[in-house]
Structure 1
Amino acid sequence: MEQQEYATGAARTAGGTSDGRTGGAGRSTTGAVLAVREPARGPGPATAAGADAPQEPSPGLPSQPSSGSRSGSRSESCSESCSEPPSGLSPDPGLLRLARWFAEAGPGAADDLCAASFGLYPARHFGAPAAPSGPEVSWWHGPTAHTPAPLRTREPRTAPGLRRARRDAAALPVVLSGAKPGTPGRHRRPEHSRSAAAVVPQDRSGATTAAERRIAARLLLAHPLVTASGPHADGFPLIRRHRDWLTERFDTLLGYPLVVGPWHARLHKAGPGPGAVRRLEHPATGAPFTPGGYARLALALSLLVDAPEQLPLGALLTAMNAAEPAPADPADLAMAFAVLADWQVLTDVPADLADASAVLTVDRELARAVPAGPPALADGAADLVRRAAEAEPGTAVRRRLAESPAVLAADLPEDQRAWLRDHRHSGPAALADFLGLEAEHRAEGVALLDPAEELTDLALSGGGTAAQAALLLVERLVEEVRPLPGETTGADVPVPDALIDGVLGDIADEYGLPAGWRRDYLADRTALRRDALDLLHRMGLIATRPSGWLLRAPAARYAPAPDLLPTPGTGRHSRPAPRAGQPA
């Protein structure tokens, strides 16, 4: 373990394709962007995960340089501010630099920086499919996946887990899922044992193998860091069993390196680029991270990658203050430690961080597995976000398809738009088969759908006041501003703020009390508006521009089917009544 090098920026490696085993970045590579540092050799014990097990190499790591050359690099990179803190912990210079970028970033830019540097965001997809239709049909006027409002009321969704693979029902009884313990789900059979032997299927047919691979692939795309003892431990044996095949497919289709060790699997996702609306949230409360919270997280990681297995909380806090003496908000510190505990980098974290006598258990192997972006050679936060998202056109489009609800041609640069046009069916079909998704082709673009609503961190049809209000809001906005057939509007239509406020007020009055909506939302319409629009924005159904909000074409799939011959009236979209003698 102590001989293992780790990368603070393993998003890309030198050009070429991987060998299918070590998880090289393959087709996404444009140059070597790595920061390598040797863990400190101290008297602290090795982690339990790496004490006896052989270590598998990180993707694309160069051969280890001599200790002398590594020490020289360390001195040069630490010349700015890396002084040895009194606790004996030494911060990693790359992660310390990243912490400062977080502290200087705005909220949206900090979210983009987190996705680029850690790559731990989950996939996000629409759920219920619409009726089949040709690719020349617009989302504005095509079949919809609309569900009448009275049918939507239900209990809030549990934490998302991957319970099955689509289209492989016959093989599922012999394959355990990756769902969290205690959440059996609609599609799961009783699981009487969680031992490793129970995961080994008795039937090794081709259908069973395909189902296992699909479950493992979906689990990794939803949870890029899976451990043998974490909430998705049931799926870890499947990842181990099919790691060679998974490594090759993730590299070929998405350019994502996959590293599978004895006790954890790490899919190193590339950054989705600026404006991707991906953020970390508190694992218990769902509160979004602030730039200060991200900064505390990166600062703690910079010290934990070399920390001893048993570490007093007071020593860690002292080292953090010495490395970055700026005052920290206690709430930001609490959020950072909550996420580190959720990732299993830290265990035995006390509820009260003021208890300096508490002793933390550190998993250095997981701490080194968290960074995925390339901070070493980036000039700044914006440059890191750009570098992490670089890829050749085919890989870039496939990443968008795999990670985001819909890919609109208007959002793509010209080279990626041309690739999507030339591979309109074959490109999405390969990913749909790999991940068990369904392709929906429309005139504006393509969406890969997950009818099970498992391969997504957000579900518009989920329970809760904000989700229900958002769904009602988007369907009524579509009815108000949907372009008429023949109108050339593109993928976006402006939505006046006054219309949003008016429609949301009507919805709250009509549905609020009967549906049992939260009283704080009903009393504070501003908060309801903010959270409903935030959900629609993150799902890619609305966009924000300096001029205001824009309704996006995929939003129409959640509205009632358009009436192309409406009753004559005075509305903006009504047709005039026919004159006598004219056909209706």
Structure 2
Amino acid sequence: MTQSARELQTAFTSLLATPALSRAGSPETFHLVRRHQNRLGEWFDTRLGYRLVLSATTARLVRLASPAGVVSPGPFEPVPRRALVLALLAAAVAEDADEITSTQELSDRVSVLSAREEVGVEAYDPDRFAERRTFVQGLGMLLRAGALVPLARRDEDAREGWAHQRDQVGGAYQVQREMLLRLVHPANLTAALGADPHGPRPDGPGGHGPADAAEHPARFGVMRRIVELPVCLVADLAPREQEYLAGQRPRIAQWCEEMTGWTLEHRREGVALVPDHEGGTDLPFPRPRARDFAALMVLGELVRAAPPAGSAAPVVSREVLLDAADRVRTTYPRAMTKDLAGRDAVADRSVELLVALDLLRPGPVPGSWHLMPAAARFRDPAVSVGGPQHDEAQPRPENQSALFDTEVFS
């Protein structure tokens, strides 16, 4: 593989993980995106229906709406809604702030703005500790997006000190006004108002003319599921998308390898793009912690207890889940931490994680779950006891299974 191809893959996957980049906040990645902007823009536009917007200091990947809706998993541990509201208010007041601002100044401005009747939100009260902590969470979102750039290394400590009223300033930041403007793209506003966010597409290379106007919704639906979700299941696709996947498998696999360097695994139930490192996903599994270990062991019990693969995903009842949790607690008692005390806790914590990974889905009745095909990837995990750098009482899972427990596409 050439250096240019590796750079393209790094830039592509980095934009998927961090769709808002600034030259100040991520100079190396931003340099790669700028160097390969034409090819990246073509990939995102023609293969996924996304839009790459660049300027001299910012890069923004806009995930345009599609008829199929949003194809992107939500965060496993989302920030509170109040933090989102305060982040938006902080972004609004930062536009009018000086080039250099601080946590305290932004807090004062948000307090004034939120008190205005036309804003229509609960007024922000910086005298309450809970509000200050939530405000700090909101600022963290703007920092990660590159809209604010800290001027000191220990900025997180400064914000935490401000929340506890130990620091009157709370850290200083440089306002990136262009990035603030990029956070909300006009195309998504257009889609929210009911118009086509993609707009008319030109003929010729890089465009979507009459020849493929009927194909691109199906292409976007399939490619977005492959790139954004853990697994793209045939059963989840619309009829036109199923036809596209069946007819374009070689081309899709070639695209995925070209854009990411990762392997596209094909099975009867669907396809999955498998990263070659943990950084290729926002939710690596299993991680070396008790919660992941318990979820993996519970999943293994459920897979073993499931009936032979058929046309429908097996249904797991609450009773079956609790029995699996009991077996895990009995087999590995020293691996159960305080938050896993009791079989209900093991079951509930496991379900939260497995649902986020799309290994379980809500079943036909409350308290039941569908065991999804990709769960077979984690059948019979091997367990070893940690060495000197690990707690010897903490088993460590090692997954060595294949993706699906069915034959490869013919």
Taking structure 1 as the reference length, the TM-score comes to: 0.52
User: Secondary structure of 2:327's match?
Assistant: helix
> Which deviations, in whole Å up to 9, do the C-alpha atoms of 1:199-221 show, x marking residues without a partner?
xxxxxxxx121122122212222
Q: Structure 1 residues 371, 545: closer, same or farther in 2, change over 3 A?
A: farther
Q: Is 1:211 aligned to 2:13, yes or no?
A: no
Q: Structure 1 residues 462, 387: closer, same or farther in 2, change over 3 A?
A: farther
Q: Is 1:221 aligned to 2:16, yes or no?
A: yes
Rounded Cα–Cα distance in structure 2 between residues aligned with 1:509 and 1:320: 53
Which one of 400, 420, 431 corresponds to residue 245 of structure 2? 420
Which one of 209, 215, 222 corresponds to residue 397 of structure 1? 222
Rounded Cα–Cα distance in structure 2 between residues aligned with 1:368 and 1:535: 35
1:244 corresponds in structure 2 to 38
Which one of 54, 65, 81 corresponds to residue 291 of structure 1? 81
Give the residue type in structure 2 aligned to 1:226: L
Give the residue type in structure 2 aligned to 1:417: Q
Give the residue type in structure 2 aligned to 1:374: N
1:494 corresponds in structure 2 to 315
Q: Highest CA radius of gyration, 1 or 2?
A: 1
Rounded Cα–Cα distance in structure 2 between residues aligned with 1:240 and 1:413: 36
User: Secondary structure of 1:229's match?
Assistant: coil
1:429 corresponds in structure 2 to 254
2:398 corresponds in structure 1 to none
Give the residue type in structure 1 aligned to 2:184: P
Rounded Cα–Cα distance in structure 2 between residues aligned with 1:273 and 1:293: 25
Give the residue type in structure 2 aligned to 1:239: V
The CA deviation at 1:420 is 1.3
User: Secondary structure of 1:266's match?
Assistant: strand
1:370 corresponds in structure 2 to 183
Q: What aligned pairs does 1:68-79 form with structure 2 within 5 A after superposition? A: none
Rounded Cα–Cα distance in structure 1 between residues aligned with 2:331 and 2:358: 26
User: Secondary structure of 1:415's match?
Assistant: helix
User: Secondary structure of 1:543's match?
Assistant: strand
Identify which range, 452-461 or 257-266, moves more after superposition. 257-266
Cα contact 1:255–1:395 (8 A) shared by 2: yes
Rounded Cα–Cα distance in structure 2 between residues aligned with 1:345 and 1:459: 27
Rounded Cα–Cα distance in structure 1 between residues aligned with 2:8 and 2:330: 48
> Which deviations, in whole Å up to 9, do the C-alpha atoms of 1:138-166 show, x marking residues without a partner?
xxxxxxxxxxxxxxxxxxxxxxxxxxxxx
Q: Is 1:531 aligned to 2:349, yes or no?
A: yes
> Which deviations, in whole Å up to 9, do the C-alpha atoms of 1:487-543 show, x marking residues without a partner?
x433x1100111111211221332241x4x5x3223255444333222211211111
Rounded Cα–Cα distance in structure 2 between residues aligned with 1:305 and 1:253: 34
> Which deviations, in whole Å up to 9, do the C-alpha atoms of 1:361-393 show, x marking residues without a partner?
4221111122246235636xxx89x989xx711
Q: Structure 1 residues 420, 524: closer, same or farther in 2, change over 3 A?
A: same
Which has the larger share of helix?
Answer: 2
Q: Is 1:508 aligned to 2:310, yes or no?
A: no
> Which deviations, in whole Å up to 9, do the C-alpha atoms of 1:307-329 show, x marking residues without a partner?
44244221233223323452456
2:403 corresponds in structure 1 to none
Cα contact 1:300–1:320 (8 A) shared by 2: no
Q: What aligned pairs does 1:123-142 form with structure 2 within 5 A after superposition? A: none
Structure 2 unmatched runs, 5+: 125-129, 199-215, 382-410
Which one of 352, 374, 378 corresponds to residue 558 of structure 1? 378
Structure 1 unmatched runs, 5+: 1-167, 169-206, 282-286, 562-584
User: Secondary structure of 1:246's match?
Assistant: helix
The CA deviation at 1:559 is 0.7
Rounded Cα–Cα distance in structure 2 between residues aligned with 1:520 and 1:336: 30
Rounded Cα–Cα distance in structure 2 between residues aligned with 1:301 and 1:457: 25
2:144 corresponds in structure 1 to 342
Cα contact 1:473–1:503 (8 A) shared by 2: yes
Q: What aligned pairs does 1:297-336 form with structure 2 within 5 A after superposition? A: 297-311=87-101, 312-313=105-106, 314-322=108-116, 323-328=119-124, 330=131, 331-336=133-138
Q: Structure 1 residues 262, 511: closer, same or farther in 2, change over 3 A?
A: farther
Cα contact 2:232–2:270 (8 A) shared by 1: yes
Cα contact 1:477–1:500 (8 A) shared by 2: yes
Cα contact 1:396–1:416 (8 A) shared by 2: yes
User: Secondary structure of 1:447's match?
Assistant: strand
Percent identity between the two aligned chains: 26
Rounded Cα–Cα distance in structure 2 between residues aligned with 1:416 and 1:275: 14
User: Secondary structure of 2:115's match?
Assistant: helix
The CA deviation at 1:397 is 0.8
Identify which range, 551-560 or 419-428, moves more after superposition. 419-428
2:267 corresponds in structure 1 to 442
User: Secondary structure of 1:374's match?
Assistant: helix
The CA deviation at 1:337 is 1.8
Q: Structure 1 residues 541, 325: closer, same or farther in 2, change over 3 A?
A: closer
2:63 corresponds in structure 1 to 269
Rounded Cα–Cα distance in structure 2 between residues aligned with 1:274 and 1:260: 23
Equivalences, count: 336
> Which deviations, in whole Å up to 9, do the C-alpha atoms of 1:43-69 show, x marking residues without a partner?
xxxxxxxxxxxxxxxxxxxxxxxxxxx
Rounded Cα–Cα distance in structure 1 between residues aligned with 2:275 and 2:315: 29
Rounded Cα–Cα distance in structure 2 between residues aligned with 1:377 and 1:482: 44
Q: Structure 1 residues 226, 527: closer, same or farther in 2, change over 3 A?
A: farther
Q: What aligned pairs does 1:109-120 form with structure 2 within 5 A after superposition? A: none
Q: Structure 1 residues 524, 224: closer, same or farther in 2, change over 3 A?
A: farther
Cα contact 1:437–1:449 (8 A) shared by 2: yes
Cα contact 2:11–2:32 (8 A) shared by 1: yes
The CA deviation at 1:300 is 2.9
Q: Structure 1 residues 357, 209: closer, same or farther in 2, change over 3 A?
A: closer
Cα contact 2:50–2:63 (8 A) shared by 1: yes
Q: Structure 1 residues 439, 510: closer, same or farther in 2, change over 3 A?
A: same
Cα contact 1:225–1:264 (8 A) shared by 2: yes
Q: Structure 1 residues 254, 557: closer, same or farther in 2, change over 3 A?
A: same
The CA deviation at 1:341 is 2.3
